[in-house]
Amino acid sequence: MADLLDCKKLVLEAAQRLTREGYLVGTGGNVSVLIEGEDAIAITPSSMDYLALTEADICIVDFARNLREGEHAPSVETGMHLAVYRQRRDVNAVIHTHQIYPSVFSLLGRPIPALFDEQVANLGAAVEVAPYGLSGSGELLENITAVVGNQCNAFVLRNHGALLLGLSMEHAVRNVKLLDKAAHVYYLALALGQEISLLPPTMTETIFDLMKSEQRKEIRRKKKLERAKEPEAGAPCAD
């Protein structure tokens, strides 16, 4: 069973680090981590200065959206985070940002193609665009659920911002920065008006397959843990 204080600390440290580095601005964006062994997440509260938060301010919310711990309302985007965890068993951390260069492509509605090895190895074959949905709305949840099934770890949200996923919080934070690099470089390359060199499709597929292999490994690990928790045949269920 995961330690809730450790989970809150992970979320707090990531949110404050990304704020100091300029990836989270004001109270925009949100950070969550899956609590291992439970259908619940630790997530940042709504509309609060991340640099002023403490572990006690981080919310614990179950998959039915019940607030289990926390004195403040959880992020308005809690449903979006939960939708990702339900759809993607490999994901253990989710970060939503309003960072500048990915937001440019959210206005253009333009995907970011495979540009670099490290991009594909961590973010996937492309950074696709999720259609617009109002923050916290059912429409946004449907749009997110539809796109994250491509097994990529970075998405642009139309007229909104970006969504990053990871096998761990460390991976998710790294993916924020990799997306920023890819979006910034692609923006500058497009501004030059010259032909842009993309990764060869065969190489993109090969690298992406390696990333998906790590995802499958994580899903197998979770299934093994779940089987270990199942009561033996004939044994009574816990009250």
Residue 236 has pLDDT above 80, yes or no: no
Mean pLDDT, range 147-168, rounded to an integer = 97
Would residue 235 count as lying in a domain?
no
Instruction: Tell me whether residue 38 is one of the annotated catalytic residues.
Output: no
Given a contact cutoff of 8 angstroms between Cβ atoms, the answer to whether 93 and 176 are in contact is: no
Return mean pLDDT, the chain: 93
- How do beta strands 30-34 and 93-97 pair? antiparallel
Residue 231 banded pLDDT, cuts 50, 70, 90 = low
Would residue 236 count as lying in a domain?
no
166 strand-pairing partners = 93
At residue 199, the pLDDT reads 97
Mean pLDDT, range 140-155, rounded to an integer = 95
pLDDT digit string, tens, across residues 165-220:
999 999 999 999 999 999 999 999 999 999 999 999 999 999 999 999 999 999 99
- What are residue 238's phi and psi, to 5 degrees? -70, 150
At residue 237, the pLDDT reads 30
The whole domain housing 136 covers 4-217
Would residue 224 count as lying in a domain?
no
Residue 203, Cβ neighbours under 10 Å: how many?
A: 13
Would residue 229 count as lying in a domain?
no
Residue 239 has pLDDT above 70, yes or no: no
How would you write 118-140 as a 3-class SS string?
HHHHHHCCCEEEECCCCCCCHHH
At residue 130, the pLDDT reads 96
SS3 18: helix
The residue with tokens 């440290």 is 13
Q: CA-to-CA distance for 76 and 151, rounded, in angstroms?
A: 24
Would residue 72 count as lying in a domain?
yes
Would residue 222 count as lying in a domain?
no
**Residue of 69, 71, 77, 230 with catalytic role:** 77
Given a contact cutoff of 8 angstroms between Cβ atoms, the answer to whether 14 and 170 are in contact is: no
Would residue 239 count as lying in a domain?
no
Per the structure, how many domains does the chain have? 1
26-29 own/partner pairs: CB under 8 Å, 24+ apart: 28/97, 28/98, 28/161, 29/95, 29/96, 29/97, 29/98, 29/161
Q: CA-to-CA distance for 218 and 210, rounded, in angstroms?
A: 13
At residue 200, the pLDDT reads 97
Q: Looking at residue 157, which CATH number applies to its domain? A: 3.40.225.10
Residue 133 has pLDDT above 70, yes or no: yes
Given a contact cutoff of 8 angstroms between Cβ atoms, the answer to whether 166 and 153 are in contact is: yes
Residue 144, Cβ neighbours under 10 Å: how many?
A: 23
Given a contact cutoff of 8 angstroms between Cβ atoms, the answer to whether 144 and 128 are in contact is: no
pTM of the model: 0.93
Q: CA-to-CA distance for 128 and 152, rounded, in angstroms?
A: 9
Q: What percent of the chain has pLDDT over 70?
A: 95
Torsion of Cα atoms, 129 then 132 then 134 then 138, to 10°: -80
Would residue 226 count as lying in a domain?
no
pLDDT digit string, tens, across residues 18-73:
999 999 987 789 999 999 989 999 999 998 999 999 999 999 999 999 999 999 99
